[in-house]
């Protein structure tokens, strides 16, 4: 009897992890669907780590990009939750992309998600990076140069 109880407990634990993973996957999939549909105002609300980015500047950047998630089974492949602690999660996935001829056809990487307002939210910088509207190096140089320029004016 104790062996059967042990099996039930182990099964319940696995189910909970699977349920959490499924919620994270669904949240990420829903976010990609919102992006694909061009609903950028709603997409802004679905994202975490907005920093100083305003809704208006985000929408403008996204409208300026022709890159968007692919449809259907190509949208998100090889999804796996790598780590999850209740408030933050790291997921690995291949995101299929459509857009200009020069853009990559997919982005395979880890994505950070944050649990806010009862939802798992992708990070705004990740979406901008995948959309091709920003890059870490370019934005870092720009900030550095603007600080340097301000210092020389004082």
Residue 135 has pLDDT above 60, yes or no: no
CB atoms within 10 A of CB 60: 12
Write the pLDDT tens digit of every residue in 17-48: 789 999 999 999 999 999 999 999 999 999 99
The whole-number pLDDT of residue 40 equals: 98
Distance between CA atoms of 105 and 70, rounded to whole angstroms? 9
| Side-chain-side CA neighbours of residue 3 (13 Å) | 0
Is 29 in contact with 71 (CB distance < 8 Å)?
A: no
Write out the two tokens for 81: 């939750």
Select, from the ranges 42-46, 130-134, 149-153, the one with the highest average predicted confidence (pLDDT): 42-46
Distance between CA atoms of 21 and 16, rounded to whole angstroms? 9
CB atoms within 10 A of CB 145: 10
Model's pTM, two decimal places?
Answer: 0.75
The whole-number pLDDT of residue 54 equals: 96
Residues constituting the chain: 154
pLDDT tier, 104 (very low <50, low <70, confident <90, very high otherwise): low
Mean pLDDT confidence for 142-147: 38
**Does the structural domain 2-134 have CATH classification 3.40.50.10490?**
no
The whole-number pLDDT of residue 142 equals: 37
pLDDT tier, 99 (very low <50, low <70, confident <90, very high otherwise): confident
Domain ranges for the chain: 2-134
**Orientation of helix 55-63 relative to helix 124-131, angle to 10°:** 20
Strand partners, 84: 89
Specify the DSSP element, H or E, that contains 145.
helix 136-153
């Amino acid at each position: 009897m104790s062996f059967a109880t042990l099996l039930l407990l182990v099964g319940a634990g696995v189910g909970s992890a699977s349920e959490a993973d499924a919620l994270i996957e669904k949240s990420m999939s829903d976010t990609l669907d919102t992006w694909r549909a061009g609903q950028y105002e709603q997409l802004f609300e679905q994202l975490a780590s907005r920093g100083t980015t305003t809704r208006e500047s985000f929408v403008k950047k996204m409208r300026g990009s022709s890159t968007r998630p692919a449809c259907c089974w190509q949208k998100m492949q090889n999804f796996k939750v790598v780590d999850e602690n209740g408030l933050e999660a790291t997921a690995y996935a291949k995101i299929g992309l459509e857009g200009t001829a020069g853009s990559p056809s997919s982005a395979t990487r880890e994505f950070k998600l944050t649990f806010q307002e009862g939802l798992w939210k992708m990070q705004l910088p990740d979406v901008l990076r995948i959309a091709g509207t920003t890059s870490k190096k370019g934005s870092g140089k720009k900030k550095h140069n603007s600080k340097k320029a301000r210092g020389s004016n004082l």
